[in-house]
Amino acid sequence: MVKVFAGKRYCEAMNFAAFAHRKQMRKGVDIPYIIHPIECSMIVASITQDEDVVIAALLHDVIEDTEFGYEDIKERFGQRVADLVQGETEDKRLDQAKKHTWAVRKKETIEQLKEADLDSKIICLGDKLSNIRASVRDYEGNKEDFWQRFNQTDPDFQGWYYERIRDILSEELSYTDAWKEYDELCTSLFGDLDLDEVEKRLNEV
C-alpha cells in the first residue's frame, strides 16, 4: 500500500482529483469532497496493489461530478485508468430532476455491476464502503433529518441499493475485510430488509 501511495502517478492523480473536486463538499456536512475519493483509494489499495486500479478509485467521480471528462483522464493517466473511471460513471440525466431518476439510475448501476470485471468491482466496493461509513457516522448524530440530504429519502430504498450491491460483490470479494465491514454496516444502518418486497415497492413509485 505504501509503495502505491508514494508513487509519482498517485501523487499526480491526487493533485488532479483535489483540483477537480475543489468546489465540492460532502452532502449535508462541511467536509471537502476530496476526502471521499482518497478514502476510496485507500480501501482499494488494501485489496490490490495495481496502481491503475488505485488511481482509478481516486478519480472515480471525476467524469460524473466535475468539468473534466474521459479524455482528460486518458491524457494524464492512460486509457486503462480512464476506462475504469468511465465504468464507475453514472448517467445522471442532467435534464431531469435527480429525485425522479434515482431508481432507474441505481438499477442501471446494479445491472452494470453484475457484468463488470473484478477491478471495477473492487473500486465499487471502495466507493460504497466509504459512503456507508460516512452514513453510519452521520446518522448517529442526526437520525431525524439524516435521509433528507439525499435525492432518495426513503431509507428502505437506499438499503435496497446498498444491499443489492453487497450481494453482487460477495461473489468475488466476500473474503476481504472491506466487504465484511460493508456487510456489517449495511445490517447496522438498514436492518433486515426483504429486498424483493422493497424492490416491488420501488417499482410502484
Q: What is the mean pLDDT of residues 44-72?
A: 97
* Structure confidence at residue 6 (pLDDT): 67
* Structure confidence at residue 189 (pLDDT): 96
C-alpha cell at 146: 439524516
* Structure confidence at residue 1 (pLDDT): 58
Active-site residue (options: 12, 64, 111, 177) = 64
pTM: 0.94
Assess whether 51 carries a catalytic annotation. Answer: no
Q: Return the H-helix or E-strand segment holding 89.
A: none
Could you give phi then psi for residue 31, rounded to 5 degrees?
-130, 130
Q: What is the mean pLDDT of residues 165-187?
A: 98
Q: For domain 2-204, is the CATH number 1.10.3210.10?
A: yes
Q: Could you read off the pLDDT of 117-131 as tens digits, one per residue?
A: 999 999 999 999 999
Active-site residue (options: 52, 61, 65, 177) = 65
Cβ density class 107-131: b for 16+ within 10 Å, e for less: eebeeebeebeebbbbbbbbbbbbb
C-alpha cell at 50: 495495481
Dihedral sign for Cα 104, 110, 115, 116, please.
Answer: positive
Q: Which range among 40-44, 96-100, 149-153 shows the weakest confidence by mean pLDDT?
A: 96-100
Q: Is the pLDDT of residue 2 over 70?
A: no
Which amino acid, 150?
F
Residue predicted with more confidence, 145 or 181: 181
Q: How confident is the model at residue 47 (pLDDT cuts 50, 70, 90)?
A: very high
Q: Is the pLDDT of residue 205 over 90?
A: no
Rg of the Cα atoms in the chain: 17
* Structure confidence at residue 123 (pLDDT): 98
Q: Which residues are paired to 32 by β-bridges?
A: 25
C-alpha cell at 31: 467536509
CB-side neighbour CA atoms (13 Å) of 97: 5
- Residue located via cell numbers 502505491: 4
Residue predicted with more confidence, 181 or 28: 181
What percentage of residues in the chain have a pLDDT greater than 70?
98
Q: Is the pLDDT of residue 49 over 90?
A: yes
Q: What is the mean pLDDT of residues 95-119?
A: 90
* Structure confidence at residue 79 (pLDDT): 98
Assess whether 64 carries a catalytic annotation. Answer: yes
Q: How confident is the model at residue 93 (pLDDT cuts 50, 70, 90)?
A: confident
Domain boundaries, the chain: 2-204
